[in-house]
Amino acid sequence: MGRLEKKVAVITGSASGIGRATAIRFAGEGASVVIADLNREGGESVVRECKENAGHAVFQHTDVSQEAAIQAAIARAVKEFGRLDIMYNNAGLGGAVGPIEQITVENWDRTMGVLLRGVFLGIKHAVPEMRKAGGGSIISTASVSGLRGSPPGIHAYCAAKAGVINLTRSAAMELAKDKIRVNCICPGGINTPLISNRVPGGEEVLGQLMAHFQPIQRAGRPDDIAAMALFLASDDSEWVTGQAMVVDGGLTAGLGGPLQAESAASERSGPLGGLDGWSGPSFEK
């Protein structure tokens, strides 16, 4: 029996990257999954992959910044599979990028709409169905950028991810009585289409660059985060709530010597650092 046997999950942003890896992992562990994403082509492809992994999955077109869309994704889970046990608020983008004095209010608000309001809405609307199920696990993707300052140019992203971390803590305190656990994951440098699609040379070049970011000298992989999400979704973590689980290859532990210099140089010229304006979802080139 899989670790998520008979459980039902909604995973936002699951048409690629971390969400895709998590959906496939969850399906292989026995979960039924709603693939909630704006990217219909990618999402339907992930549904096929989940089914090939002996799981059950459906695609739901979802804009996480819109309350009705989040409600519809959760309603789809209940309609198709009868309940909701796991809500993974994973959808993300780079958002507003560039010098802080040049960021527009419109782009700031759009960033918060996806990265922070989307998490709030996922938590809000998961709770009633999880109460009916006798409890559940809410997971959100935060970032090490929510724990410390990051390379210049991603101010809105850093602020939103810090908000996700503290929202996780406050929601966990409120919902513990309902046997609903609330945690978030703080990835380090993960090689996903969100970034690699915007780097000349793509995934291969980005992987080489990211290998110098942290003491474990390889780029993070979506499966690294999927493994932590599986732990948080499963009963193995039944006494874990209100936590920001760092999965970063040692990035936030501290660096030294040549590695520190290489990492600093890489961060200064990072793939989002040279952009001005807006960095959208992974399927938008």
* pLDDT for 205 beyond 80: no
Of 112-121, 184-193, 251-260, minimum mean pLDDT range: 251-260
Between 254 and 91, the more confident residue is: 91
Average pLDDT, the chain: 89
Contact between residue 190 and residue 220 where contact means Cβ atoms under 8 Å apart? yes
Q: How far apart are CA 57 and CA 30, in angstroms?
A: 11
- Rounded to a whole number of angstroms, the distance between the first and last alpha carbons of the chain is 41
Which residues fall within 8 angstroms of residue 232, CB to CB, at 6 or more apart?
Answer: 137, 139, 181, 183, 185, 240, 245
Q: Which of 26, 81, 120, 157 is an active site residue?
A: 157
HSE (side-chain half, CA atoms, 13 Å) at 56: 13
Tokens, residue 31: 């979960």
Q: What value does the mean pLDDT take over residues 169-194?
A: 93
Q: What value does the mean pLDDT take over residues 10-33?
A: 97
Q: What value does the mean pLDDT take over residues 84-106?
A: 96
Tell me the pairing of strands 136-141 and 180-187: parallel
HEC string for the chain: CCCCCCCEEEEECCCCHHHHHHHHHHHHCCCEEEEEECCHHHHHHHHHHHHHCCCEEEEEECCCCCHHHHHHHHHHHHHHHCCCCEEEECCCCCEEECCHHHCCHHHHHHHHHHHHHHHHHHHHHHHHHHHHHCCEEEEEECCHHHCCCCCCCCHHHHHHHHHHHHHHHHHHHHHHHHCEEEEEEEECCECCHHHHCCCCCHHHHHHHHHCCCCCCCCCECHHHHHHHHHHHHCHHHCCCCCCEEEECCCHHHCCCHHHHHHHHHHHHCCCCCCCCEEECCCCCC
Residue pLDDT, tens place only, 260-271? 433 443 343 344
Q: Name all domains of the chain by residue range, CATH numbers in brackets.
A: 8-194+220-254 (3.40.50.720)
Distances in whole angstroms, Cα of residue 44 to Cα of each of 47, 61, 144: 5, 10, 30
Q: What pLDDT shows up at residue 197?
A: 60
Q: How far apart are CA 116 and CA 10, in angstroms?
A: 17
* pLDDT for 15 beyond 60: yes
Of 134-148, 180-194, 254-268, 271-285, minimum mean pLDDT range: 254-268
CB 217: neighbour CB atoms within 10 A? 13
Q: How far apart are CA 227 and CA 69, in angstroms?
A: 27
* pLDDT for 101 beyond 80: yes
pLDDT band at 275 (very low <50, low <70, confident <90, very high): low
Residue pLDDT, tens place only, 211-234? 888 899 898 999 999 999 999 999
Residue pLDDT, tens place only, 61-92? 999 999 999 999 999 999 999 999 999 999 99
Q: What pLDDT shows up at residue 165?
A: 98
Q: What pLDDT shows up at residue 79?
A: 98
In the residue annotation, 88 being an active-site residue is answered as: no
* pLDDT for 256 beyond 80: no
* pLDDT for 272 beyond 60: no
